[in-house]
Amino acid sequence: MTHPAVLALTMGEPAGIGGELALMAWMARHAQMVPPFLLIDDVTRLRTLAHRLGFKVPITEICDAADAAAVFNTALPVLPISLPVPVEPGHPDPANGQAVLASLERAVALTVEGGTSAVVTNPIHKGILYQAGFRYPGHTEYLGALLGVPTPVMMLEGGGLRVVPVTCHLSVRQALASLTASAIIHWGRVTANALTQDFGIKTPRLAVAGINPHAGENGALGDEEITIIAPAIAVLAADGIAVTGPHPPDTLFHAQARQRYDAALCMLHDQALIPLKTLAFETGVNITLGLPIVRTSPDHGTAFDLAGTGSANPASLIAALGTAARLAATRAAQAPPS
């Protein structure tokens, strides 16, 4: 199947910075070689926002994703979705929550059907969506539910580093209690497969971090490396995956160490995110692995304090669009002929 070179960008939280970032990404389409995308959003709110910010962005309402490529060079193509409540930047309203989810669901459906090549998601605000009845920890889990994938995997990429947190949005105490060898094995297998399928790395190299200081010092500083992490690494190695560890976390991310692996499996959220955001605070990209479609997102939130000011930095969204186009092209090139 031939996939179109057009990405589906979601609305995200309409009171956040997603709309203005989309407008800025379109304005940067030539200077920064932004791949063509369509936006699933409320046309009135976008035109109002562009006028408020003084952005000269022609907005063209399209009826079909197939029209987006022809429009993109001269106008921002928008598949319309109506917001029930007018938007004031920085002031979210739960009444708009269902429209936010509808934008995401439309993007997923378009990509599954082949109308777009990948999904790029603008940031949502989970607290507001919870008030609207949303019952998932975040985008990643909701995408998994939509696509029938029980445990999708989150990867962050930027600054020459790829990290995959095995435990994510949990307290440190909960993360330690929930860490299992089976989880590390699953995350490792999904990551290795994605590095081949989406990144084109024929023999991916994984580095697995320990969880204790000095990777436990042979059990003197904790035994999770011995009882949980090393057994998981042994299974991954038996699968034929090039995997090393457990590595002391404090020596895994310097420049020389990063040359020895293609992705690092990390045991805790901050163990993964601190080095990533240190290296690529403005250009990090969130990638969901293990889905039947490609999905990326900027690695930041809704930034209500910046919404409507035009001062937000679009670099992470532009990076997410570029990454989505690259991964989708790599996946399509490796797909067997239909």
DSSP string, 266-327: ESSHHHHHHHHHHH-TTT-EEEEESSSS-EEEESS---TTTTTTT-S--HHHHHHHHHHHHH
Count how many Cα atoms sit within 13 Å of the Cα of residue 135 in the half-sphere of its side chain. 3
How many residues belong to the chain? 338
Q: Over the stretch 118-147, which tens digit does the pLDDT of each residue have?
A: 999 999 998 889 988 888 888 889 999 999
Evaluate whether 309 touches 19 at the Cβ level (below 8 Å).
no
Count how many Cα atoms sit within 13 Å of the Cα of residue 162 in the half-sphere of its side chain. 22
pLDDT at residue 337, rounded to an integer: 67
pTM reported for the whole predicted model: 0.94
DSSP string, 125-164: -HHHHHHTT--SSSHHHHHHHHHT-SS-EEEEEETTEEEE
For the chain, domains (ranges, CATH) are: 1-153+306-338 (3.40.718.10), 160-279 (3.40.718.10)
pLDDT tens digits, the chain, 338 residues: what are they? 444 689 999 999 999 999 999 999 999 999 999 999 999 999 999 999 999 999 999 999 999 999 999 999 999 999 999 999 999 999 999 999 999 999 999 999 999 999 999 999 999 998 889 988 888 888 889 999 999 999 999 999 999 999 999 998 888 999 999 999 999 999 999 999 999 999 999 999 999 999 999 998 999 989 999 999 999 999 999 999 999 999 999 999 999 999 999 999 999 999 999 999 999 999 999 999 999 999 999 999 999 999 999 999 999 999 999 999 999 999 999 877 65
Q: Name, in order, each residue with C-beta under 8 angstroms of 23's C-beta and a sequence gap of 6 or more.
A: 46, 49, 50, 53, 55, 57, 76
Helices (H), 1-96: 18-27, 43-53, 68-72
pLDDT at residue 170, rounded to an integer: 85
Amino acid at residue number 235: V
pLDDT at residue 338, rounded to an integer: 57
